[in-house]
Structures are given as structure tokens and as C-alpha cells.
Structure 1
Amino acid sequence: MHKTTTMAAAVALLAQPAMAQTLDDQINSIFAASTGWFVSLIFSSFPGTNFPWIVGWLVVAALVFTIYFAFIQFRAFGHAIALVKGDYSDPNDAGEVSHFQALATALSGTVGLGNIAGVAVAVGIGGPGATFWMILAGLLGMATKFTECTLGVKYRNEYPNGKVSGGPMYYLKKGFAERGVPGGGFLAVMFSIFCILGALGGGNMFQANQAHAQIAGVVGDYPGWITGVVFATIVFLVIVGGIKSIARVTEKVVPLMGVLYVGAALLIILINFDQVGAAFGMIFAGAFTGLGVAGGFVGALIQGFRRAAFSNEAGVGSAAIAHSAVRTNEPITEGFVSLLEPFIDTVVVCTMTALVITITGQLMIDPATGLFILDEAGTGIMTMGGNTGVALTSAAFASAFDGFQYVLVVAVVLFAFSTMISWSYYGLKAWTYLFGEGQTKEIVFKVIFCIFTVIGAAAGLGPVIDFSDAAIFAMAVVNIIGLYVLMPVVKRELRSYQKRLSTGEIRKFV
């Protein structure tokens, strides 16, 4: 009945006179009507609370892996950096890209608009206190990322032409079969479906949507589909060359956009250095009291964990697909490398964004009580100019001094572009898992991906961000089941590697 109602609504919307709605409005309305049920399912709360069950699912998993692997994210941090530098890289190992290229590709999929718009959403609803929970989620998520990326390399498929395919769909099927656990094949198919949805939504439509919002905010309003067509064309030219082409682009774009964005944020922080102490005070106080935000500290906690998970994707399984292409014969090494991602993405970049928004006074505070002033709906904080999402971050940067909004435009475009090309690869591998390898099948998916780029740029922020979250978190539901079943395999790999490293059997190549 619900599907019938949704389809009827879509037909009715299309039947309306062209003058009543613009093309952007029609796309937005149809999209919202078609995906609402999916969003509601994923983000339903525990009975009697407003705490989404999916957030608890991710947090508990991250805590379990942190304890199970004895805080591996801290113990292996130094060795992870050595691996990225190439100290232990054997050029003769199987795979397509280096440790650094794999990290850059995965980071380009995570260090994106979630760090700009997503953090602004979290702080705009949960206050600066949400930042504390984002950092905590990032630190815990390092152990989750370590687990999934180790498995991605261990169970990948290596083909005679030198190409590889890996990710949760492969370790769910092969790993479960190896351990005699039923259901792996079914879970692999489910993950692949959700991954395709996640690639089209969070990894594509959301990026195009927010990139258009930022560009239009600077050059003036214009139809979103124009931005979509431009992005789709450029993305297609890159992704048609496969993972090696993507890796060559991301290893250049990721450091550039990181330096550009973090450098700009640091400059603003240094200019307002006298406000940094107060900002951190608000972050810590808001984490446990809420400072007047809707839901108090629980509201801050929920927003922090929710946006951190969307930003660094720990537990989602997407990064395991990129890391599976690495040149190595030691699966655990890519687990070490991958744990750096949530640290860079959430602990560093997200914190920078939150600090800039806070110290530049974008959030309105009642001077009499010291509490935040809620908007008319009572669900978010009133901001200077009523900005939300990427517009809030842009306003924070622009408030420092004239011209910074243009720097942010460049950063947003680079973030969106890099995220889109990485997620196109994730979606492609899920697509080929379902429909088989082959150039024609790959081209079909790449064309579909670019069509959704146009749709994303034209749709509104509300339905796009909701669908993006739901699709990506649905991947985590399936993936984490697999991680629980296969984490003993990762522990065996870890113990074996550590023993051989301590005896000198594993040596440096530089």
C-alpha cells in the first residue's frame, strides 16, 4: 500500500503544470516521497527513547573491537605511519596501488563534505558538545576500520590480469564459508545492494548537492542540474580509467584539499586564538549538559556519533573495498594503515570545522543564561543569518575576513569531487559482484552513477542527507555482523604478523 501511495504521489507531481514547480522542485518532491520509508526504518529509535538503534549498533561494535584488539588504534599508530611511508612495501607484492594510494583513495571517500556540511549539521543541532562525541566516535572507530580492512585484503579476489576485487561482499561469502557459518552469501548480496545505494546517495548525490549549494552561494542562484552535468562529466572522465586512474588523482587531490582546508581553518583559529579556550570549554560542557540544545547531552551525543559515523564510515565497510586493491601479501598491514583514516577524518578535520564554527560566533547564545537559543521549531540552534549545513561553515569562514568563502568553494569542490570518484569505485565493485566482471557492465554502472550526480545536485538538502545517511548505515548493519563472526581471523593475522615482525622475519625495504 505504501509503494502504491508513493508511486501515485510521484505521478501526481509529474502531472502538475510546469509553471507550478521548477524541475529542481519536481525532482526534490519525487525523491522525498520515494525514500521516506527507508529513512524511517534505518533511523527508528529504541522504544521510549529518541536514540536511533543504528547509532548504538555502531558504537557498541567500535567499543567491542577496541577491547578485543587491546586498543590496537593506539599501539599500532607508529607502525601504521611507517607503512604509509613505504618502509615495508615490497613492489613485487600482489595488488594495484601502494599503501599511500590506498589510504588516499579511502580518505578521499571519507574526508569530504561530511567534514564541512555534516559537522555543521551536528553542531547546529547538538551544539559544540557534539564535537566531543564525534572525537570519541572517531577514536573508537579506528579499531573497527582496522578489522574490516584487514579482512578486505585477506579475502580479496586476485585476477590473472593483475586486477583485484575485495570488500565486505567477498569476506562475508568466503570468510563465512571458511568458518562453516551459513548465510554469508545472502549477506554479501545484501551488502552489495546497500553499497550501490550508498554510492549513489551519500557518495554521490549528497556531494553534488552541497557542492552546488556552496557554488550558488558565491556566484548566485542557478539551476542545480547545471552543476550536476559539469560534475558528472568530469567524474566520468576519471572513473572510466579504473582504480589506478582514481588512485593517481586522489593521491594528488587529497593532500591538496587537506592542506587547503586545514590550513584555512588553522589560520582562523590562530587569528581568534583568545577564543580557543572558551570554545573547548563549550565543547566539554556541552558534551555532558547540552548547554540548552534540544535533548540536552543526549541530543549532543546522538548528533556527534551520527555525524562521525557518516563522516569516517568506520563499520560501513566502504573503505575495505579501496584498501583491498593495495600491493601487499600481509593483510594486517592494510588494517594498520586504515586505522589512520578515522583519526585524520574525525579527530583532526571535523574538530577543525567545529572550532571554526564555534569561535567565530555563528551559534546564538542567550547572554543571561549562557545557553544556546533554539530555533522556532525547537530542534536546532539559531545561527547568524539562519544558516545550516555547508552555508553555516561558509559563513564561519567568511566572518574571519573577506575572501575565505572563495577558499571554501575550492575546498568543497575538491572534497565533493574526490569523494564521488572514490564512491564510484565502491559502488562499481558491489555492482560487479552482483552482475559479474566485464567492461560493458562497468560502463553501465558508471553511466548510472553520473546520472545520479545530476539528480543529487538538483534535489534539496533534506531528502538527500536523510537518504544518504540511511543507505550508508544500512551497509553497516550487514558489515558489522560479518566483523563479529570474522574478528578471530583478524586476531590470528595480528598475532602472526607481530611475532614475525619481532623476530626480524618481516623487514624494511627502505
Structure 2
Amino acid sequence: MKKKILSMLLLAIPMLTFAQEATMDEKIEAKFKPFADAVSSVVFYPISIVGIEVPIVIIILLLGALFFTLYFKFANITLLGVALQATRGKYDEIDHHSVEVAAGDSTPGGDVFESVQAEGVVGEVTHFQALTAALSATVGLGNIAGVAVAIAIGGPGATIWMILAGFLGMSTKLVEATLGVKYREVGEDGKIYGGPMYYLNKGLKEKNLKGLGKVLAGIYAVFVVGGSFGGGNMFQSNQATAQFKQLFGLESGFIFGVIMAILVGIVIIGGIKRIGQVTEKVVPFMGIMFVGASLIIIVMNITIVPEAFVQIWDGAFSEASITGGLIGVMIVGFQRAAFSNEAGVGSASIAHAAVKTKFPASEGIVASIGPFVDTVVICTMTALVIVVTNLKSNLFNYSNLDEGDNVIMNTTGEHLGGVDLTSVAFESAIPNFSILLTIAVILFAFSTMLSWSYYGIQGWKYLFGKSKIADISYKALFLIFVVVGASSSLGSVIDFSDAMIFAMVFPNVIGLLLLAPKVKGELTRYLKAIGHKSQK
């Protein structure tokens, strides 16, 4: 086991050496691009729908989300109030104390001395901390850059389909987080180990599918480690550094990367408790800051808002060709929303598994808020700002974009990336918004790296064991990749990382579908405990 870990550490040495060289990009692109392209082509293999190529992984995510929404009778909407109340702690007394009749109790009545308090209640973080830790991994550059790309490709109408995808994704998150808590393990030191690796292994074993469960769990663990180093780390540090360099005119990102690595290291050494303590402060702050700026722009242009809504509605349903235009806009909206909220990827269930509760469904219901905040609220705000400001200032023409490079051409012929377009849209209404956006991007990237470090280490420990050396080796590697990502521009590595993240969908969704009846039982048990009208 130690040899395996050592070999993984040795792999990082050439990467760190490359980071110091001027030709790092070319060297890694030349050697890694063929492999990255091969992996990406498999994960994002497209099928044709009315002449439009759609990655099969997106179809699996959407069909799975639709199934769970129907199977749980729209719990994503009907239980939203319960989710908000549970998040703020209204049901904590029931969650942590239960009046359950003990075997042989001849006088059941619910007296306090009959209540279970500490027994059976394990976990490291509160409902709110678990939610913000999970949100910190999804609320990020996808909300800033991804939404801009969706609007630029699909037009304003893509907004409607992003919102719908967000609502459907709430059902998937409910299932994932419930299973994450139900099948978690508690270490001798009280630390929690959970997520798809555990519910695939243990849950499918209960259904007499032990072999399938072990294989799917192992595959998932490999993908989550790869995704944590790439999309959850290098891409984040790279984009934060790029925004910082652009604002201050710096040429090298190495020093900034080292500083960010130190800050990330200070937090992740403390584990999920420290991560939860940081994210419960950072995530609300950055969310309020971004949504607040959006609301200011919307209020400033309130007379244009009705026209913007007309464009959004007409663009979603009134395309000239229902087989081409309408389906195209729908797919763009669904795809970008899926990339943003990660419902179906299973990663968030790792953070939610650490919650203090004895009712798995309590955290499943709380987790369903994630896609609502990420996609329905924040993505919609970004989209509305872009549509409104484009109506006012004619910043760019819709569909004038190279989708492969995510490069948008504005009306003056200049090329803009997704982040650039959002920045231009906001800055057209709020002077010097680029400073605020830089702060937002850095906070988004920082919080995303925190949560993905926790996701990755859970997969790492599942593969290599829960020893101290496994813990230290992973965190050392993770911090090295923070610096590497900040010092380079690795397009193919990012493509590979995204492929690794979405490769998690295949083993995860199989498990979710097979274990859905277990979730229904847990949901009924929890709703009965809090006195809510349970589903029948």
C-alpha cells in the first residue's frame, strides 16, 4: 500500500518541475492531449437527437433526474419548505433526540428519559455546514462563465431549460445525499467516510449484487480522485490566477498559486469540520455578493426587464423549427445546468454524509436545496443580467460563438471568454465591477477546491486505506496541483478532468436507480418523525 502511495507522489514531481519551465504548456499538451482526448471522447460520446449531437452522459443525468422526480412524487417541490426548515435547524431536536419505543417497554409515551439523545447520532458537521460545503463545490465558475456560454449559444431561451434542469436535479441530490448518510462508515477516530463508494458497495451488497457493487465503487473512487486533482483543483486555481493576473497586469501566476496553496492547506488540514466552518461563512457571503450585484443591475434597468422576460420565454418555446431550434435551445440549457450543479455526479453526497443526524433522509431533503440555489437562483440571476444588459448595450449577437473554445465574438469583433462576457455585462452597469468579479472568482475557486479536496481524499482513502500516511500524501499532492494549475494553461488536462468528473455519473446513476426504494423508506420514516404528512 505504501508503495502505491509513493508511486502516486512521484508522479507529481515531473509536474512540479514542468511548472517552472516556460514551455510547460507545450510539453504537457503534446504528451497528454491524445490521452485526454481519448478519455473525453468516451465519456462525452454523443448521440444524435433530431440532428443535434448530445453527450450521452447528459441524457443519462436528465432521464435519471426525471425518473426520481416522478418516483418521489415531486418531493423536490413539495418538500422545499421542509428542506429550508431543516437547514436552519428547526428539526434538530427530533433529528438528534428520538422518542422510539424500546423493545419490551410496557409504558411507551414519549417521556424525556425514554428519548435517545447521543446514541445513534453520529456526524461531524451541521445540516447548514454540510449544505454550504457541498454548495461551495458547485457554486463557482460554471455559474459565471457557463451561464454566459449557454445564453450565447442557445439564446435567452436557454434560461428556462436551465431552471427546469435545476428543479429536476433537486430530486437526484435528495437520493444521493440520503444514501450517502445511510451507508456511511464511522472511523475509530469519529471521522465520517461516505459517498458513492460506500453506498455502491454496501447498498448493492444488500441487494445481492456484491460483485457489481465492489466494481462500481472502485471505479467511482478512481474517478473522484482524478476529478479532485483536475476540475476540482487545477482548473479552479488556473481561472482564479488568470482573473487576478488580468486585473493587476501580472505575468507569472506561480507566486499567487503558492499563496493559494498555503491558504487551502491551512483549511484542509483540519478536515471536514474546518472546511464546514469556512464554507458556512464564505459561501453565503459570495452568494449574497453576486446575487446582490445582479439585483442592483436588474433594478437599475427595471424598465427593460419585461422585454428581457419576453425574449427568454419566446426563445424557449417559440423557435421557428421545433425539431431544430427548440430542441437545440433545450439541450444547451440542460447541459450547462448539469455541468453547474453536478446533480447525478454523486460528489456532493460525500460532504452531506458527514452531517450530524440519525435520519438519512433529513440530509437528503436538505441537499435538494443545492441545485435550487446553484441553478434556479444564481444561474438565473446571471442569465437575466446578461440578457438585460445585452438589450440595453448590444454587447454581442446570440449564437455567435465557437462552442469548442467557448469564445464569444462581441459586436466590435473582439473575442470574449465566458467569464469575460459576464464581466462586460456587469461592468456596463456597475463601473469597476471587474474588481468585484475577481474577488468572486477567487472565492468561488477557493471554496470549490476546499470541498473537492474532501471529495478526493475520501476516494483516495477508499482505495489506499484510512492511514495517516494516506491522508498526508493526498493533501500534499493536492496542494502541489494547486500551484501547477496556477502556473499553467492546460487545456487538455482540464478536458480530461471534466471527463473524469462526469465519468462518475455512470457508476453513480446505476446505484441510485437500484437503491431508490431504500431512499423512499428513509423518506417516509423521517417525515413521520417530524409530523409531516408523509407520501402515500
Give TM-score scaled by structure 1 length.
Answer: 0.88
Contact between 1:122 and 1:307, CA under 8 Å: does it hold in 2? yes
1:494-505 equivalence runs, <5 A: 494-502=523-531
Shift of 1:464: 5.0
Distance in 1 between residues matched to 2:532 and 2:489, nearest whole Å: 57
Contact between 2:139 and 2:374, CA under 8 Å: does it hold in 1? yes
Q: Which residue of structure 2 lines up, in the alignment, with residue 323 of structure 1?
A: 352
Distance in 2 between residues matched to 1:173 and 1:308, nearest whole Å: 29
Q: Which residue of structure 2 lines up, in the alignment, with residue 243 of structure 1?
A: 272
1:205-284 equivalence runs, <5 A: 205-284=234-313
Pick from 134, 145, 152 the counterpart of residue 106 of structure 1. Answer: 134
Q: Which moved more, 1:33-42 or 1:344-353?
A: 33-42
Q: Which residue of structure 2 lines up, in the alignment, with residue 308 of structure 1?
A: 337
Q: Which moved more, 1:160-169 or 1:454-463?
A: 454-463
Contact between 1:254 and 1:418, CA under 8 Å: does it hold in 2? yes
Count of aligned residue pairs for this structure pair: 484
Contact between 1:151 and 1:490, CA under 8 Å: does it hold in 2? yes
Larger Rg: 2
Partner-residue secondary structure (3-state), 1:314: coil
Shift of 1:160: 3.3
Cα 1:96–1:118 change in 2 (3 A) is same
Partner-residue secondary structure (3-state), 1:374: strand
Q: Which residue of structure 1 lines up, in the alignment, with residue 398 of structure 2?
A: 372
Pick from 71, 74, 86 the counterpart of residue 71 of structure 1. Answer: 74
Q: Which residue of structure 1 lines up, in the alignment, with residue 3 of structure 2?
A: none
Q: Which residue of structure 1 lines up, in the alignment, with residue 328 of structure 2?
A: 299
Shift of 1:29: 4.8
Distance in 2 between residues matched to 1:291 and 1:412, nearest whole Å: 37
Query: Could you say what the CA RMSD is over the residues aligned between the two structures, in angstroms?
Result: 2.8
Pick from 382, 391, 399 the counterpart of residue 409 of structure 2. Answer: 382
Pick from 470, 485, 488 the counterpart of residue 456 of structure 1. Answer: 485
Distance in 2 between residues matched to 1:161 and 1:27, nearest whole Å: 41
Q: Which residue of structure 2 lines up, in the alignment, with residue 486 of structure 1?
A: 515
Contact between 1:24 and 1:225, CA under 8 Å: does it hold in 2? no
Contact between 2:308 and 2:391, CA under 8 Å: does it hold in 1? no
Q: List gaps (5 residues or longer) in structure 1.
A: 1-15, 506-510
Contact between 2:86 and 2:92, CA under 8 Å: does it hold in 1? yes
Cα 1:278–1:209 change in 2 (3 A) is farther
* Letter of the structure 2 residue corresponding to residue 412 of structure 1: V
* Letter of the structure 2 residue corresponding to residue 237 of structure 1: I
1:192 paired to 2:218: no
Q: List gaps (5 residues or longer) in structure 2.
A: 1-17, 97-117
Distance in 1 between residues matched to 2:157 and 2:501, nearest whole Å: 24
Cα 1:284–1:381 change in 2 (3 A) is farther
Contact between 2:25 and 2:490, CA under 8 Å: does it hold in 1? no
1:119 paired to 2:147: yes
Shift of 1:221: 4.4
1:408 paired to 2:434: no
Give TM-score scaled by structure 2 length.
Answer: 0.84
Contact between 1:126 and 1:290, CA under 8 Å: does it hold in 2? no
Sequence identity percentage = 51
State the 4+ residue runs in structure 1 displaced beyond 6 angstroms. Answer: 362-367, 376-380
1:286 paired to 2:315: yes
Distance in 1 between residues matched to 2:388 and 2:532, nearest whole Å: 50
Q: Which residue of structure 2 lines up, in the alignment, with residue 36 of structure 1?
A: 37
- CA offsets 1:346-389 (integer angstroms, 9 cap, x no match): 0000111111222222899799xxx7362589997532542112
Contact between 1:364 and 1:381, CA under 8 Å: does it hold in 2? no
Cα 1:238–1:401 change in 2 (3 A) is same
1:432 paired to 2:461: yes
* Letter of the structure 1 residue corresponding to residue 153 of structure 2: I
Distance in 2 between residues matched to 1:349 and 1:407, nearest whole Å: 16
Distance in 1 between residues matched to 2:468 and 2:231, nearest whole Å: 25
Distance in 1 between residues matched to 2:35 and 2:392, nearest whole Å: 34
Cα 1:258–1:226 change in 2 (3 A) is same
Shift of 1:38: 0.9
